[in-house]
Amino acid sequence: MSTFWKWTKKMLTGLLILILGLSALTYAAGMYAKSKLTRENLPSGQLTDVGGYTMHLYCMGEGSPTVILEAGLNDFHVSWSKVQAEIAKDTRVCSYDRAGLGWSEASPHPRTSAVMAEELHTLLTNSGIEGPYILVGHSFGGIIVRLFAQSYPDEVAGMVLVDSAHEEQVSRMPHLKDSADEFIGQFRTLSAMSSFGLMAISPATIPNRGFPDEAYKQYQAVLATTNYFNASIAESTAFYSNISPTNTSELGDLPLIVLSHGLPDPGSDDDVFEQEWTKMQSELANLSSNSRQIIAAQSGHYIQLDEPNLVIDAIRELVESK
């Protein structure tokens, strides 16, 4: 072997050792950062066994009816951080993390909306949180609370839908599936980064979507230290594969307030989407003979973060009517 190739072999070996060493150091730093974030951001509420796995439930306040806050697709309890404390001044209010998200453990069951509604009922039952309930569902959470009301109608006293998803939106707008495939692919990359500890090393790189400071810290900790992205992949895949039921029942005369966004998504110029979304919001309002619709003129999809007072007022209206 020539002197050149011997030298090249030594250089490549040295470079490989350096890369492996740096990778090991980065991994160790990431694991330390994840451990530190976890210690500094403990669950806000209680962990309850729901059949071999635990789910996180965060309740505040006292009184009846109890308000149940259901987050949107891939979201968890912090999405209600601008609403929950205010409602707690009037009655008991609970937010929670669906299985695999936030501080809840992963579920062995398929991630269908029907399963999630059942898991919520088990969580409330096992935690001793009795009805009647005012159900508040944002986006995908709107489908879950409607299924809950369908399964347990005697326990539900009213409902607020916050820019709720519609169970036919994927079939009526098939192009949404392509967009979903793109962000699911991004989730896979982010999952690897989170597992390696890269997010925990620099949590400030995780965007703040409008959360108050403490909620933002919890949001950072969950994304950086848990299996959040794997759970989000499973939840998104189930929803955009149209596994959700295609026909949830009407709500009779159940008191219903539908809040709908007034500002289009700044990242989208899809007029067809906005037109179809507007139609579907009207359809949701027509599910009950005792309903009204409110347009959140200054809000995008996250009305509870953009105009939380609209959500607070809607919930209070239903609570005070009981």
Query: Omega of the bond prior to 174 within 30 degrees of 0, cis?
Result: no
Reported as half-sphere exposure (CB side, CA atoms, 13 A), residue 61 has a value of 19
pLDDT at res. 224: 83
**Strand 156-162 to 93-96 pairing:** unpaired
CATH code at position 304: 3.40.50.1820
Domain-embedded: residue 225: no
pTM: 0.88
Reported as half-sphere exposure (CB side, CA atoms, 13 A), residue 128 has a value of 2
pLDDT at res. 196: 64
Domain-embedded: residue 63: yes
Cα(198)–Cα(220) distance, integer angstroms: 12
Q: How many CB atoms lie within 10 A of CB 261?
A: 23
Q: 306, 181, 303: which is closest to 241 by C-alpha?
A: 181
pLDDT in single tens digits along all 322 residues of the chain? 555 444 444 444 544 554 544 444 455 565 656 667 777 778 889 999 999 999 999 999 999 999 999 999 999 999 999 999 999 999 999 999 999 999 999 999 999 999 999 999 999 999 999 999 999 999 999 999 999 999 999 999 999 999 999 988 888 887 777 777 787 888 888 777 777 677 777 778 888 989 999 999 999 888 888 889 899 999 988 888 765 444 556 899 999 999 999 998 765 557 788 899 999 999 999 999 999 999 999 999 999 999 999 999 999 999 998 7
Cα(78)–Cα(2) distance, integer angstroms: 64
Domain-embedded: residue 158: yes
CA-only gyration radius of the chain, Å: 22
For residues 86 and 217, the answer to whether their CB atoms sit within 8 Å is no
Domain-embedded: residue 11: no
Strand blocks (E) in 50-155:
54-60, 66-70, 93-96, 133-138
Cα(171)–Cα(6) distance, integer angstroms: 62
| Token duo for residue 107 | 């579920």
Task: Name the one residue in this structure whose structure tokens are 């269908």.
Answer: 112
Domain-embedded: residue 22: no
Task: Name the one residue in this structure whose structure tokens are 């707690």.
Answer: 88
| Token duo for residue 315 | 């919930």
- Cβ neighbors of 251 (< 8 A, separation 6 or more) are 146, 149, 159, 287, 288, 291
Domain-embedded: residue 295: yes
Structure letter (DSSP) for residue 72: -
What is the domain extent for residue 149? 46-177+230-320
10 Å CB burial of residue 176 (0-12, 13-18, 19+) is: middle
For residues 285 and 251, the answer to whether their CB atoms sit within 8 Å is no
- Residue 145, by phi and psi: left (phi above 0), alpha (psi -120 to 50) or beta? alpha
Q: 44, 263, 73: which is closest to 167 by C-alpha?
A: 73
Number of domains in the chain: 1
Domain-embedded: residue 94: yes
10 Å CB burial of residue 88 (0-12, 13-18, 19+) is: middle
pLDDT at res. 148: 96
pLDDT at res. 70: 98
Reported as half-sphere exposure (CB side, CA atoms, 13 A), residue 79 has a value of 25
